[in-house]
Amino acid sequence: MTPGEEEHQMIMAAKAEPARFAPLYELYFGDIYRFLLRRALDPDLTADLTQQSFLKAMLGLARYEPRGLPFRAWLYRIALNEVRMHWRKKKEVLIDLSYREVQGLSEEMGLEMDEQEMQRLARAMGGLDAEKARLIELRYMDGLSFAELGQVLGIGEEAAKMRTHRVLGRLREQLVPRR
């Protein structure tokens, strides 16, 4: 049995009997926790948001329709909504990233992995509006495929690809000084 088929069986079992959601919870808890920790920063708060995300997933599982896309992306979408609810009253959020997490993006931008370049990248990313920043975070920090990205944002794969390229272009403009 392929992992996809196995996952499909787990989803069907959980739809029929909520107590059988546990294997899905065990399988994805780590991914969702790390995803939320990147944004919430505090471990205890992250644990609460993770638990809340899984509760929402359980409550909404009857409406979930697998369309050949990974279940993980659906969970990311729920988790992202939870973190947005949490951020609602904040004026500013700090996102702490390591060189490893921005490596893909730095390569795409042709930047060196040194302090000065990373500060420029941080400033350029901070200048993006929320929607564009979210795209970059999901693609490069969380490592989502374009299909997953599309599912999380509720758009098609092609649209996700196009929007990401547009945002990368915008970032490049900010990073490369105009002559």
Partner 1 sequence: MKRRYRITPEGRQQPTDAEIARYRDPKRLLYNYTRAVQRPQKPLYRDPKAFLFLLLIVLLAYLISEEQRKPDAPAPAPAENAPRTPSGG
Binding footprint of partner 1 on the chain (CB under 8 A): 18-19, 21-22, 25-26, 29-30, 33-34, 37, 41, 43, 46-47, 50-51, 54-55, 58-59, 87-88, 90-102, 118-119, 121-122, 125-126, 128, 130, 133
Complex with partner 1: residue 67 or 100, whichever CB lies closer:
100
**What minimum distance in Å lies between the beta carbon of 116 and partner 1?**
11
**What minimum distance in Å lies between the beta carbon of 177 and partner 1?**
20
Complex with partner 1: residue 1 or 94, whichever CB lies closer:
94
Complex with partner 1: residue 90 or 178, whichever CB lies closer:
90
**From the CB of residue 162, how many other CB atoms can be counted at a distance below 10 Å?**
13
Question: How many angstroms separate the CA atoms of 173 and 45, rounded?
Answer: 36
**What minimum distance in Å lies between the beta carbon of 126 and partner 1?**
5
- Evaluated on CA atoms 72, 34, 36, 145, the torsion sign reads negative
Amino acid present at 148: E
Burial 47-86 (b: 16+ CB within 10 A, else e): eebbebbbeebeeebeeeeeeebbbbbbbbbbbbebbeeb
Does residue 55 contact residue 98 with C-beta atoms inside 8 Å? Answer: no
**What minimum distance in Å lies between the beta carbon of 154 and partner 1?**
20
Complex with partner 1: residue 30 or 66, whichever CB lies closer:
30
